[in-house]
Amino acid sequence: MSEENITNIPYSTEISEISELKNFVGEELGLSEWTEITQDQINTFAKVTGDNQWIHTNAELCEKHSPFKKPVAHGFLILSLASKFCYETFKLKNVSMGVNYGLDKVRFMNPTIVGSLLRGRVQLISSEEIQNGIKYKMKLTFELKDKEKPACVAEFIAIAYN
């Protein structure tokens, strides 16, 4: 996608038939709304995963010792938003079952500190017909407001059956 065609207005693409997905390879499918990363989200994630590192949960220690001066979100907390961003930006109709098949080529490029605004930009990388469905891969860019480099770039793999 060329630089001049990139939009900053949230939008979603709806595709009626899974057989049409192949026509969108290389295209951007959508852009989500901004989502604020809160300390409550980080603390809940830490509690559920048992990952209570001070860099994520202790604002006082972060102020003293962290180069960011505030707690940062766990990488997997950011990745947990992948499904949300895909759902907000891309609707594939005529699906009887969808499967999150996994992630590929995950790269964390910028810390996501408490209070950051984050959004997802979704692009279709590939699609492959399988028996009774389609396997496809999307590039997700987790953009940070007012930052040149994104928080994370990952490839999200999914399967849809009709």
Contact 150, 109 (CB under 8 A): yes
Would you say residue 142 lies in a domain? yes
Q: Which residue from 153, 27, 161 is spatially nearest to 90, judged by alpha carbons?
A: 27
Would you say residue 152 lies in a domain? yes
What is the C-alpha separation between 66 and 62, in angstroms, rounded? Answer: 5
Residue 149 domain boundaries = 8-37+81-161
pTM check: above 0.85 = yes
* pLDDT given for residue 100 in this prediction: 76
Would you say residue 153 lies in a domain? yes
Would you say residue 52 lies in a domain? no
3-state secondary structure of 44: helix
What confidence tens digit (pLDDT) does each residue in 59-113 have? Answer: 999 999 999 999 999 988 888 898 889 889 999 888 778 777 788 899 999 999 9
Would you say residue 59 lies in a domain? no
Q: Which CATH number fits the domain that encloses residue 139?
A: 3.10.129.10
Would you say residue 54 lies in a domain? no
Residue type, 91: K
Supply the DSSP string of 63-84, one letter for each residue: HHH-TTSS-B--HHHHHHTHHH
Domain count of the fold of the chain = 1
Would you say residue 63 lies in a domain? no
Would you say residue 14 lies in a domain? yes
Q: Which residues pair with 6 in a beta bridge?
A: none
Residue 1 above 70 pLDDT? Answer: no
